Chains A and B, each alone.
Chain A
Amino acid sequence: MLQILLNGIIAGAIYALVAAGFALVYSTARFVHFAHGAIVAGGAYALFFFFERLAIGFWPAAVLAIAVAALLGWVCNELVYKPLRHRGATPLILLLAGFALLVLIESLLLLIFGADVKVIRVLPVERGMDFFGAIITPLQVVIVVVAALLLVGLHAFMSFTRLGRSLRAVASNKVVAQIRGISVEATYAKAFLLASAIAGVAGILVGMEYNLEPTMGTSLVIKGFTGAIVGGVDSVPGAILGALLLGVAENVAAWYLPSGYKDAVAFVLLFLFLLFKPNGIMGSNKGARK
């Protein structure tokens, strides 16, 4: 049982990074950034390219991967979302555009890297350590620690920095923020950069723990937004909590059900929350059903 919980937390830690970025964009710009999963995939493939193909060493490759992800997110916003917002497009149109971007980026990855599964070997495969009867590998410890540090850092950033405060100001009331002299579009751009950089880190962790596939983005964005909706889509801490719950729920379900249904757990959870608690566990009322 502890092993299930542990596996759940490891998966949940990665989902939490995806969900946090997703919720960051949703809470500021108020739309479903569907291509967010593809940004994670882009980060993971960038790591693969720099580390495995160019062999430039792990740290430079990781930094470049984060930069690629951040740039990708920023480009999505500048070239697609921003012009659409200027035209007064509805959140639905933005969602549709995000879906198209997701498919576009995934297909490009497929075209460039091929359909075969890629593996990134940073740390040698080690035997797991015994942790009160459950097995955990050093890499998994790294994942949980990095995710936790990053999420705590994000929270501190949102609370104590100027940019963090302006993000929250735009999130709570666009008009008031504008009156106070905050440029809404510039804030959106920064939210995308930040969320996508976090997605880059998620991509690195995913790439080290699991295998790379071009379609990984779709599954990740669904995990991410399920986590966000379970926790409360306009609350970043809520999204993190929701993502951890999702990770645990998936692994518990995998224990009882055929393993193929593991991915379906997210949808069942998403469905149940959309229907019965659309604001999530920690969300406020203003996000949903407007």
Chain B
Amino acid sequence: MIEAYLAHLLVLVCIYIVLAVSLQLSIGFTGLFNLGHIGFYAVGAYASALLALSGQPFWLCFLAAGVFAGLTGWLLSLPTGKLKGDYLALATLGFSFLVYAVALNWNDLTRGALGLPGIPKPELFGFAFSDTYSFLALAAVVAIASYLIVQRIASSPFGRVLGSVRDDELAARTLGKNAARTKSIALASSAFLAGLAGSLYAYYITFIDPFSFTLLELVPVLAIVVIGGLASLEGTILAAFLVVLLPEPLRFIGFPSSVIGPARQIIFALLLLAVLLYRPKGIGGKVELD
């Protein structure tokens, strides 16, 4: 029983790792203050769930989740490419609310507030990931792969171009770099991975509704990125464990769930503030934004 509970927590850690390392790709490595990450997560979850419910195989739904989210990211990057700093943050935040509003109101497609129940468990090569342990293995593979992908991108010559755009966009352009295109690619690949996280979540919980994708969901992800430190992937992974596991003791003390919910958010918010105030670089932050 306790093992199953631990495995459940670790699945959540894996999903948050995928979300947080992909958010690092846009915030930490490219300097795009993207607050629309939950929107991409939602697009991936809905794309995956709808396809799975229509009987499509797991691999297709999973990939489609990434592709749909990535395309959304690409489209979002086109009009917002010119925006800087806090204006981009507000615009992407607006985008994630828009996704939420569509999920809540497009009843014919998403069933609105009723949500989408009965998402089948994933199956690959005849093997069904039906219990928590096998799902954990799947989630761990996706989390490790996301880490490796982002790590590879960041340490490549392309990653260096990302860094130049982050540090001084105009200077990068005077060196002949196409900053707009670079930012689009970064946002699209960040969104692609967030979409994969959404698919994992939908398959794991087997039920999604718009309320899983509110602004509040962004808080733990942002907390992980800030605590881990900008552009630090190792820090991000450590922080994912910390943020998911830290509020868990509340359960054992025996608080009712009506207390645990807000108490978790309070812990995340206080952590976020404490890091911003007292340790602005987090665990292993490598860059300073200015």
Contacts and interface: CB of A to CB of B under 8 A. Distances in A.
Interface string B258-290: 110111011011101100110010000000011
B272 A92 contact: no
Contacts of A157: none
Interface in A251-272: 258, 260-261, 263-264, 266-268, 270-271
A260 B86 contact: no
Contact of A80 (B89, B266, B277): B277
A134 interface: no
Nearest to B88: A274
A222 B82 CA distance: 21
Interface residues of B, number: 45
Contacts of A84: 276-277
Contact of B101 (A83, A103, A263, A278): A263
Nearest to A274: B91
B84 A111 contact: no
Interface string A87-113: 101111101110111011011101100
B262 A110 contact: yes
Contacts of A290: 84
B280 A92 contact: no
Interface string B72-100: 00000001101111110111011101100
Nearest to B102: A264
A261 B105 contact: yes
Contacts of B290: 90
Interface in A128-164: none
Contact of A87 (B79, B91, B95, B280): B280
A91 B86 contact: yes
A266 B95 CA distance: 11
Given A90-B289, A92-B289, A263-B101, A103 B216 contact: yes
Nearest to B261: A110
Interface residues of A, number: 46
A93 B280 contact: yes
A99 B91 contact: no
B273 A264 contact: no
A218 interface: yes
Nearest to B225: A96
B90 A32 contact: yes
Contacts of B222: 96, 99
B69 to A, nearest CB: 19
A289 interface: yes
Given A92-B89, A263-B101, A107 B262 contact: yes
Given A95-B89, A100-B269, A264 B80 contact: no
A222 B215 CA distance: 12
A224 B272 CA distance: 24
Interface in B23-51: 33, 35
B226 interface: yes
Given A90-B289, A271-B91, A275-B91, A107 B97 contact: no
A107 B216 CA distance: 10
Interface string A56-98: 0000000000000000000000001001100101111101110
Contact of A103 (B84, B85, B102, B219): B219
Interface string B213-227: 001100100100010
A283 to B, nearest CB: 12
B94 A270 contact: yes
- Highest count of chain A CB atoms <10 Å: which of B84, B95, B104, B105: B105
A288 interface: yes
B2 to A, nearest CB: 28
A192 interface: no
Interface string B191-203: 0000000000000
Nearest to A271: B94
A143 to B, nearest CB: 25
Interface string B92-132: 01110110011011000000100000000000000000000
Contact of A260 (B80, B98, B101, B266): B101
Nearest first, the 8 closest Cβ-Cβ pairs linking A and B are A264-B101, A260-B105, A104-B269, A267-B94, A107-B265, A107-B262, A100-B272, A110-B262
7 contacts: A87-B280, A92-B89, A97-B273, A115-B258, A264-B97, A264-B105, A275-B79
Interface of A: 31-32, 80, 83-84, 87, 89-93, 95-97, 99-101, 103-104, 106-108, 110-111, 114-115, 218, 222, 225, 229, 258, 260-261, 263-264, 266-268, 270-271, 274-275, 278, 288-290
Given A96-B272, A270-B90, 15 more contacts: A80-B273, A87-B280, A99-B219, A100-B273, A100-B276, A104-B266, A107-B262, A107-B263, A108-B266, A111-B266, A114-B258, A261-B101, A264-B105, A275-B80, A275-B91
